Chains A and B, each alone.
Chain A
């Protein structure tokens, strides 16, 4: 079975631009969570979606938004990119709204 897949794997954007990151959960998993991992730090929780609804949100500005589609895949959008948004963005899926996460390999975003 395929694990959690994220696309693209790497991305370079300019300050002020917008970016969309994509995540496909493990088949049958209904919950998707997003984390930001800045170099040298642990991941920070951004969002959790379950059954296409936002169920949890971390301490991130409104420039960050996400959605979950009927097939349970998810997109993370970041507007008005700042240099500080450069990070590895990790997606994790789980069967239910629990901590049984499986993480993807992430999207490395570089803002220049």
Chain B
């Protein structure tokens, strides 16, 4: 069965500093990988996704992620965070072949931005 591990429950970063959120997945074949952001009381917004091809993926809001098959990782990065980036971040994996199996999400990382 597929699974996602986000090792960091909370991360605190100063505004303007760089950010890296870790994500490790377990899946037998080539996975579909996603990063979502959730603000309090809101639904999920897709930041970026990886299906195939270039392993460095660019997303919205200045985020990027790198797929590393050898490490089963899909870490999210941003060079300079803004106070508005404070939110819950979820990594998710999906099976190839379409969406019928749904996505498997990690437990999330709560990002706190210090002024």
Q: Taking beta carbons and an 8 Å cutoff, which residues of A are in contact with B?
A: 4, 31, 33, 35, 40-46, 48, 50, 55-56, 58, 90, 92, 94, 97-99, 101-106
List, in ascending order, chain A residues with CB within 8 A of B44's CB: 43, 90, 92, 103
The answer to whether the Cβ of B43 comes within 8 Å of any Cβ in the partner chain is yes
Q: Is B100 in contact with A48, judged by CB distance below 8 angstroms?
A: yes
Q: Taking beta carbons and an 8 Å cutoff, which residues of B are in contact with A?
A: 4, 32, 34, 36, 41-46, 49, 90, 92, 94, 98-108
Q: Is A99 in contact with B103, judged by CB distance below 8 angstroms?
A: yes
With A33-B99, A92-B44 known, 7 other A-B pairs at CB within 8 A are A35-B102, A42-B105, A45-B103, A45-B104, A56-B100, A99-B98, A103-B43
| Residue in B4, B42, B100, B107 whose beta carbon sits within 8 Å of that of A105 in the complex | B42
Least Cβ distance of A88 to chain B in Å? Answer: 9
Q: Is B99 in contact with A31, judged by CB distance below 8 angstroms?
A: yes
Least Cβ distance of B9 to chain A in Å? Answer: 9
Known A-B contacts A90-B44, A103-B44, A105-B41; A97 and B99 likewise in contact (beta carbons under 8 Å): yes
* Cα–Cα distance between A97 and B4 once the two chains are bound (Å): 22
* Cα–Cα distance between A20 and B104 once the two chains are bound (Å): 24
